[in-house]
Amino acid sequence: MPFHIILLLSCAVAIYFACEWFVNAIEWLGVRLKVGPLAVGTILAAAGTAFPESIVTLVAILFGGKAQGADIGVGAALGGPLVVGTLAYGLTGLMLLLRQHQGRKAATLAIHQGIDTNDAANPLDGTDTKRLARDQMWFLSIFVFKIALGLVAFAYKPWLGLLFFAAYAIYFAREIHGEKEQASAEDLEPLKMQPKRATPSTFAVVAQTILTLVIIFASSQLFVRQLEWAGPALGLSPVVVALLLSPVATELPEIMNAMIWVRQRKTELALANISGAMMIQATIPSGIGILLTPWTFDKPLILAGVATMASVMYLLWLMRTDRVTPRRLTAAGAFYGLFVIGLVLTA
């Protein structure tokens, strides 16, 4: 047990520092590719860190045994959106709340010193919540459809998996071409692989991106492997392990990316990364699952779907009515807690 815990902590630390280098590289990559500033989060960062979940789903289905592999694969396809749509937003809100608290303390100190400051302002001021709401609406529409497919059975259902790949392709094209402005190199930290160069080489940017993704993926998978001992020890079924444990490990990069960007006062990028990851989670793993498994849901999967939809509808309400605050964003994490309670009560 101590060995597993040491490895878990080591993997978490490795993922965090790899994410530090990853967000640094991905911002420079956005400048090189001349994409919009928000597409850096919704497309580049999200694709880099969310596709490991798709690989987990595919590998589980193909090599995990006919019944158990399907259970784990489908569980991962539902567990990813659950974690990102609840815990990722909740922890980001918590980070913003801490930043706001520190800002208020700094503002109070500045007032006593006769200095004018706006450090006490809401850190979400200036964030394009209407655009984020549009992403949530896209996600919710796709997610409701995939949950409905899990409740019915018919002969041509597997072919509908292709629709999910098409939906992501449309979203991808819209994000890449939908912004008039391009990502700027202003205020970017120097590339960590070339700290003394004001403008890094394209080779170094790509190399740092690939290297950090390899470390993030390997550390995430090792993290998942170390969690496997917890399932049998706690008497949990493969579906529950896939819903509760694996997604938390595989979604750590999205959560850490968001925390790093919040710390750097790039709130819009942090939220864009989460919404972009949610779109990948709603489409790619689900498309794989629908194509390769019966895609039928039991109680835990239905409960995961309901908790995810409830959280997203709550977030959609906040964003559409311009009521997003750090405290209200933190409350999204409570939906994951409700899911865990529901899972225990229905077990």
| Torsional sign, CA 11, 13, 16, 21 | negative
Predicted confidence at residue 119, as pLDDT, reads 47
Beta carbons of 191 and 200 less than 8 angstroms apart: yes
Question: Alpha-carbon distance 262 to 273, whole Å?
Answer: 11
pLDDT digits (tens, 9 = 90+) for 161-176: 999 999 999 999 888 8
Predicted confidence at residue 312, as pLDDT, reads 95
Percent of the chain having pLDDT more than 90? 32
In three-state secondary structure terms, 138 is helix
DSSP string, 169-214: HHHHHHHHHS-SS----TTPPPPTTSTT-SS--HHHHHHHHHHHHH
Beta carbons of 191 and 25 less than 8 angstroms apart: yes
Cα angle 297, 303, 305 (rounded to 5 degrees) comes to 75
Closest Cα partner for 81 from 341, 339, 345? 339
Q: Report pTM.
A: 0.87
Task: Look at residue 70 and tell me whether its pLDDT is greater than 90.
Answer: no
Read off the pLDDT band of 191 (50, 70, 90).
very high
| Torsional sign, CA 168, 169, 170, 174 | positive
First to last CA, the chain: 26
- What mean pLDDT comes out for the span 39-44? 89
pLDDT digits (tens, 9 = 90+) for 209-241: 999 989 988 887 787 776 666 666 666 666 666
Predicted confidence at residue 339, as pLDDT, reads 92
Alpha-carbon torsion angle 99, 102, 108, 113, nearest 10: -110
Read off the pLDDT band of 34 (50, 70, 90).
confident
Read off the pLDDT band of 253 (50, 70, 90).
confident
- What mean pLDDT comes out for the span 35-41? 87
Question: Alpha-carbon distance 247 to 70, whole Å?
Answer: 16
